[in-house]
Amino acid sequence: MSDRWWVVLAAFLCLVFMFAVPTFMVPVLYSPIIDEFGWSRTQVSLFATVKFASGAIVGVMFGFLLDRMSIRKIVVTSGVVSGLAMIAFLGIDSLVTFYAVGLALGMGAIGIMISMKVLVSRSFRERQGFAMGMALLGTSVGGAFIRALTPQLLNLEIGSRTLGWRGSVALMSAGVWFVALPTFLWIVRGDLSQPASVPDPKADGDFSDVLRTPTFWMLGLAVLLIGFVDQAVAQHFVLFLDKDVGLGLAAAAGAASIASLISIGGKVGFGWFYDKLSVKGVAVCYLIMALSVLIAIPAQGGLLLGALVLTRGLSHGGAIVDIPVMSKHCFGPKSLGRTIGLLTAFVTLGFAAGPPTIGYLYDTQGTYRYAFMLLAAVAVAAGLAVLAAKPVYWETHIKAGHDRKTTPSTAAPAV
């Protein structure tokens, strides 16, 4: 296996333990947190808002730093912050401490996500989407196992006490300290933590040129809107299946785990699809997400519930791979860190706004019906926005190069 695929393995493990575990574990804990404190769904989902808002702020900073310094330093810093934030769950006793932990968790998680996207994007050219999908399997694998494991951890007995939701999160920080960080530091050394060479210096411009293009702002709008939808569903998915569909916490967490496993196919499949169709493929993914939200309205069991889990898993997987691919396809590799960082800030603002908005609609109306209708319309708007973007670098350097290699020669065959 080449050094570049070892990088994919390192990114996979970092995304499992530093990003996926805290991101997908906390929504499973909303029910026991509500039961203990009596908070509303709006109040508990504001945890995600605080987390993602802090991530949006530091995302811009990390994007600029990644074009100037070693990824190793940023990953170590982000990993330490994530691990300490998970341990800090032991001290949560109010909304203030709950949100404070979310603030730190968001900083660490977004730093890891941006770093891994930039690292893998620098390491691959024509197979960028596929390689990114393989690395981002870490979020699916981590999400699947932690959602299934969390209900068991809650009742795990240690001495005369059960572990509970606080101890469960703190225990899972061990993956950061003993698996993700050591493996990353062993695999990713100095030469792989620096920007890869740009094959054609004239292929893309400076970051200021990127900001002046309508394509960048259409992509920013598209990812903000799809982020709004994706995390609104993610943060309320287990609650919806548990309380509103009536599956119970264990079965609801199991259904969410299945969706995470399905998103494995979404990440790899859509990564390959984006390599072939670029932004058109991304638009297809966003429309499937709109369909999944519409299916949720009547889904109370049976085939519709299965269709909900399937479309949710596929579209969530594809929506995780989109930013690094669109960044490179539209603007090239030269300012990749800053482009990915700023677009990640846009999507993270969507992440922050979606969950409390849907929580408020539920708290005021007593149903998710109208909230889901809104989310479907927003996902369609995201698909239309991304279609307005122009993948110039992909058309002139990646697709054109592939076409030249696959076009048969017109010369007469040798006799």
User: Residue 190: what pLDDT?
Assistant: 62
Q: Is residue 22 included in any domain, yes or no?
A: yes
In contact, 121 and 128? CB cutoff 8 Å: yes
Top mean-pLDDT range of 136-145, 268-277, 400-409: 268-277
Q: Is residue 162 included in any domain, yes or no?
A: yes
Top mean-pLDDT range of 107-111, 332-336, 379-383: 379-383
Rounded to whole angstroms, the Cα distance separating 266 from 70 reads 31
Residue 316 banded pLDDT, cuts 50, 70, 90: very high
In tens, the pLDDT along 187-198 reads: 987 644 444 444
Rounded to whole angstroms, the Cα distance separating 312 from 290 reads 9
Rounded to whole angstroms, the Cα distance separating 106 from 85 reads 9
Q: Is residue 275 included in any domain, yes or no?
A: yes
Rounded to whole angstroms, the Cα distance separating 310 from 383 reads 19
In contact, 119 and 11? CB cutoff 8 Å: yes
Residue 301 banded pLDDT, cuts 50, 70, 90: confident
User: Residue 269: what pLDDT?
Assistant: 92
pTM for this one? 0.79
Q: Is residue 307 included in any domain, yes or no?
A: yes
CATH classification of the domain holding 68: 1.20.1250.20
Residue 124 banded pLDDT, cuts 50, 70, 90: confident
Residue 139 banded pLDDT, cuts 50, 70, 90: confident
Q: Is residue 365 included in any domain, yes or no?
A: yes
Domains held by the chain: number? 1
Residues 6+ away with beta carbon under 8 Å from 13: 138, 179, 180, 183, 184
User: Residue 118: what pLDDT?
Assistant: 87
The three-state DSSP-derived secondary structure of the chain is CCHHHHHHHHHHHHHHHHHHHHHHHHHHHHHHHHHHHCCCHHHHHHHHHHHHHHHHHHHHHHHHHHCCCCHHHHHHHHHHHHHHHHHHHHHCCCHHHHHHHHHHHHHHHHHHHHHHHHHHHHHCCCCHHHHHHHHCHHHHHHHHHHHHHHHHHHCCEECCEECHHHHHHHHHCHHHHHHHHHHHHHHCCHHHCCCCCCCCCCCCCCHHHHHCCHHHHHHHHHHHHHHHHHHHHHHHHHHHHHHHCCCCHHHHHHHHHHHHHHHHHHHHHHHHHHHHHCHHHHHHHHHHHHHHHHHHCCCCCHHHHHHHHHHHHHHHHHHHHHHHHHHHHHHCCCCHHHHHHHHHHHHHHHHHHHHHHHHHHHHHHCCCHHHHHHHHHHHHHHHHHHHCCCCHHHHHHHHHHHHHHHCCCCCCCCC
Rounded to whole angstroms, the Cα distance separating 213 from 232 reads 29
Residue 265's domain spans which residues?
3-402
Res 402 pLDDT > 80: no
Q: Is residue 407 included in any domain, yes or no?
A: no
Residue 69 banded pLDDT, cuts 50, 70, 90: confident
Residue 203 banded pLDDT, cuts 50, 70, 90: very low
Report residue 383 CA to chain centroid gap: 17
Res 173 pLDDT > 90: yes
Q: Is residue 414 included in any domain, yes or no?
A: no
In tens, the pLDDT along 224-242 reads: 999 999 999 998 999 899 9
Q: Is residue 409 included in any domain, yes or no?
A: no
User: Residue 116: what pLDDT?
Assistant: 93
In tens, the pLDDT along 16-61 reads: 999 999 998 998 899 899 999 999 988 998 898 899 888 888 877 8
